[in-house]
Amino acid sequence: MKTFLNNIKQGLGDAKNMLSEGSYKPFAGPLILVVALWFGLGWLNDGAAHRVDEIRDKVEAQKAERNNEAEYKASKAAYESLVERLPSEDSKEMWLLSEMISIFSKNNITPARTGRHELEDSGIFTMASVNYEVDADFATLGKLVESVENAGSFLRISDLQVQRTDGNLGRLRANFKVNTIFVKNSESAGKK
């Protein structure tokens, strides 16, 4: 280690002597070349780093695009699955009535239909609803609501109002609205 430090001291002393004597001129050209190469390589490295950053950004953008494409395809598949379960707009009134007749007969209930078949337009879907009135005991009414809400097709109950009937202990009178959605574009709708 001592010899290394002695060599450095001697080298610095030689450089000092060379500068004081003016004999550094033969080394000036290579020194300028080394400094120019140093700056040139630094400039190239900066340009290459910038290019690498651009490529990295493009790769990240492509990954994000692939993720967005996968998300879009999943959303489209979910939408198409929903559309297949919904009836076409052409058969909306008959379809809803036949679904409800089937559910009422399964639960041994004779309903009274109150009100008209109501339609509400909302862009690509049409929401349809029908009001019903039913007299039943609590257990039967519960099974009816369960049957409607858990039907394979898209049926929902809203505005459910339940009252006790006069003079008939254990019987209830329920008024409710059954809602469903129809796809406007009948070509993309599943035919039920």
For residues 128 and 92, the answer to whether their CB atoms sit within 8 Å is yes
The superfamily (CATH) of domain 89-183 is Ribosomal protein S6/Translation elongation factor EF1B (3.30.70.60)
Residue range 137-158: average pLDDT? 84
| Two structure tokens written together for 183 | 């796809």
Dist. CA 159–CA 95, nearest whole Å: 21
Residue 186 pLDDT > 50, yes or no? no
- Tell me, what's the pLDDT at 191? 43
Dist. CA 104–CA 102, nearest whole Å: 6
Instruction: Give φ, ψ of 186 to 5 degrees.
Output: -70, -20
In this structure, of 45-54, 113-122, 156-165, the range with the lowest mean pLDDT score is: 113-122
Number of other residues whose CB lies within 10 A of the CB of residue 183: 21
Residue 116 pLDDT > 80, yes or no? no
pTM over 0.75: no
Domain boundaries, the chain: 2-62, 89-183
Residue pLDDT, tens place only, 73-103: 888 888 888 767 666 666 666 777 788 888 8
- Tell me, what's the pLDDT at 97? 79
